[in-house]
Amino acid sequence: MENGFQREREERKKMEGTVKNCPFRTNYHIMPPVGWLNDPNGLCQFGGVFHVYFQYSPLNVHGGGGYWGHCTSRDLFHWTYEEPALTTDIPEDRSGVYSGSALIEDGRMYLFYTGNVKLPGDYDYVDAGRISTQLMVESGDGFHMSEKRKILGMEDYPEHMTEHVRDPKVWKENGRYYLVLGARARAWDSEGKRRDKGGVLIYVSDNKKDWSLCREIVPEKAFGYMWECPDIFVLDGKRVLSFCPQGLEREKERFQNLYQSGYSLMDKGKSLEETFTEWDMGFDFYAPQTFEAEDGRRILIAWAGVPDTEQTHRNLSVKNGWQHCLTFPGELTFQDGRIFRRPARELENLGWQKAELENGRYDWAGKTVRLTAEGIGEDGWTARIGDGENALTVRVMGDRTELSFLDENGNPAKCGGGRGVRVGRTKGKTEQIQILIDSSIAEIYVNGGEIVFTTRIYLEKEERGLKVSGEGNCRLEVI
């Protein structure tokens, strides 16, 4: 068991200098200490301290898993890196300690996750060769973990499920415990062609140890072939199902990324597909998870990345031994029938200083930036982040916001690593926009969080310019 943790420590030490000196390291976002990071896991506030665990591959910058990384914070923006909390050390999780969640109860933390096994051999890993086990560990402090305990196995899933069943999110309601899992059901279309359907399984328990299936949700008509990272919570009295469907066909201004993440309202008398709304319109957003802070706020953190995108775009930090980060924590509220996401209010306490645009320009090298424009007029508003042609353009016009890394001839800018264009629309006119830039990540909140764009951007320090044009009251703050 010590072995895995030892290897992580050695790798971290070996790469420390290279990683630390990388110009793309952020100031306030959670990153892998070395190697690769993906989904946020086990999000919670425990005795005042925020704990974020994450899918972590210290030994391979291109992923592969193996660990739950761990960091803590008192304010959601300054993070301390802790020793990893979990690694693969029992037969049930030998190919991966996959995603999961935390439940806090009576001063104890309970973590639920999927142990993944891929048997060596010639398997498709859908119908054969994969074992997905749901496991639980307990902790009195968030750092030291109990023995792992199996709570659900292949024998507990419905017959028509494939072997893809994972990512337990657990909550307590009316004295009982509930656990939702993402799943892929075997299905065939009218011509007899295999066409799997994504869905979720909901289990119930009275003691967190013995679970029985209480509901299965698989839509009539397929809405993607697999749903990952489900989350169920109540926001302003409305029950929300958040999930990550894979296999949705791209539409012009919807589902622009390879895999999606969004939410549906569960109590609307409408199908989940009908109310499905994307969480984010940018290039880099997947596997969000929410938790309730001690003061009752519903906070969301996501991976600022998407699986399997190596072919379309890249993260230029790979050469320095690391890639990916998590998003800023966002506060969720219900407004006009949909969920708004704003940066957690602790952002206000970071010590922002007013800065001035000179002739509409600012040089932000080394600084974290917040640019706000209000009262955007008919003629629209534009910001360019970068240097000359090597820039990201954020264009607002009417109800439409566009992020573009392309120049006038349609060539992608170096700082986008292959990223092109993303579009989002607000219900009415777009009047307000807030752009947060922390080194290599930009998060753009439109109309107070009605739509949000998350994107990575790789500018060298000397390339970090900012240019604004168009009508609207602009405020620039930096730290």
Q: In the complex, which residues of this chain contact ligand FRU (CB under 6 A)?
A: 38-39, 55, 65, 98-99, 114, 166-167, 228-229, 286-287, 307
d(CA 320, CA 22): 6
Picking from 430, 417, 441, 400, the residue whose alpha carbon sits closest to that of residue 253 is 400
> What is the signed CA dihedral for 430, 434, 438, 442, rounded to 10 degrees?
0
Query: In the sheet that 262-265 helps form, which strands lie side by side, from edge to edge?
Result: 226-235, 238-246, 262-265, 277-278
User: Known catalytic residue: 196?
Assistant: no
Closest contact distance (angstroms) between CB of 130 and ligand FRU is 12
Single-letter amino acid, residue 317: S
Closer residue to ligand FRU in complex, CB, 53/286: 286
Closest contact distance (angstroms) between CB of 167 and ligand FRU is 5
Task: Please pick, among 39, 156, 167, 438, the residue that the annotation labels catalytic.
Answer: 39
d(CA 160, CA 196): 10
Beta-strand (E) ranges in 257-324?
262-265, 277-278, 286-292, 298-303, 322-323
Picking from 215, 279, 284, 219, the residue whose alpha carbon sits closest to that of residue 243 is 279
Closer residue to ligand FRU in complex, CB, 99/368: 99
The two tokens of residue 467 are: 């240019």
Separation of first and last alpha carbons in the chain: 42
Closest contact distance (angstroms) between CB of 170 and ligand FRU is 15
d(CA 191, CA 373): 53
SS3 154: helix
- The answer to whether 332 touches 341, Cβ cutoff 8 Å, is yes
Closer residue to ligand FRU in complex, CB, 101/439: 101
Closest contact distance (angstroms) between CB of 97 and ligand FRU is 9
SS3 298: strand
Closer residue to ligand FRU in complex, CB, 93/156: 93
Write down the residue that tokens 């168009």 correspond to. Answer: 470
Closer residue to ligand FRU in complex, CB, 45/114: 114
Closer residue to ligand FRU in complex, CB, 167/331: 167
Picking from 50, 154, 169, 24, the residue whose alpha carbon sits closest to that of residue 103 is 169
Closest contact distance (angstroms) between CB of 294 and ligand FRU is 27
Picking from 185, 198, 205, the residue whose alpha carbon sits closest to that of residue 224 is 198
Closest contact distance (angstroms) between CB of 131 and ligand FRU is 14
**Catalytically active residues, by annotation:** 39
